[in-house]
Amino acid sequence: MLRQADLRKREKALCAKISARLSCFRAAGRRGGRKLFRELSFCILTPQSRARSCDQAINALAEKGLLFKGDASKISRVLSKHTRFHNNKAKYLVLAREKYRSRGFSQLADDTFSGSEKEARERLVKGVKGLGMKEASHYLRNVGRGETVAILDRHILKNLVSCGAIPSVPKSITKKKYLEMERKMEKFCQRVKIPLSHLDLLFWSEETGEIFK
């Protein structure tokens, strides 16, 4: 089991880099609707796919002029080179774009920044097909709203088990289970005096060797 003192030591060593990355996320959120949609699209692609591959997919779509204009079939062909479940994800991306594209994606900005982070997450989960609790939390963090929501994928849960924050990784994660695990992560963060947003990036740096998104 990873000792809490060791975890705090690692966080202290990476604190400046983590803080800088979080500042970048906040800056991204301030850039407006199209940037928000780009980050939302990235998070729609992430289930069972690597973050770097999803980022490459978004870049490829943008370069080909498909992210804001392409139909699902053209988007799917690009995604097939980078992500799993490319057909469904292409459909979800187009549905989200059609939902939000009017008035420069201003409704997406409203849904993202109105109310608390948890209220925003609830709106996004209900309103964006293909976006679950984890993906909505990921999106909010990537646009500067990640102080109170946790991105609970299996890598993070595995690390929480290693730290003694939770007893085991659940076989399936319902919304109720997700919220339960999130509360346990919050309490653990309070005990070790590491912000929730920092702990997520710290765990990912341990997994991947980099602080990405």
Beta-carbon-side half-sphere exposure of residue 24 (alpha carbons within 13 Å): 10
**Mean local confidence (pLDDT), 60-68:** 97
Please tell me which residue in 111, 134, 200, 213 is annotated as part of the active site.
Answer: 134
Express as a percent the part of the chain with pLDDT over 90: 89
Tell me, what amino acid is at 19? S
Please give the helix or strand (H or E) that residue 131 lies within, else none.
Answer: none
DSSP states of 111-165 as a string? HHHSS-HHHHHHHHHHHSTT--HHHHHHHHHHTT--SS-----HHHHHHHHHHTS
User: Contact 184/165 with Cβ under 8 angstroms?
Assistant: yes
**Tens-place pLDDT, residues 114-167:** 999 999 999 999 999 999 999 999 999 999 999 999 999 988 999 999 999 999
Considering the entire predicted model, what is its pTM?
0.95
The reply to whether 134 belongs to the active site is: yes
* Domain assignments of the chain as residue spans, ordered by start: 4-26+150-208, 30-142
CATH says 30-142 is which class? Answer: mainly alpha
**Tens-place pLDDT, residues 22-32:** 999 999 999 98
CA distance 93 to 207: 28
The reply to whether 177 belongs to the active site is: no
> For domain 4-26+150-208, is the CATH number 3.40.50.1360?
no
Please tell me which residue in 89, 153, 200, 213 is annotated as part of the active site.
Answer: 153
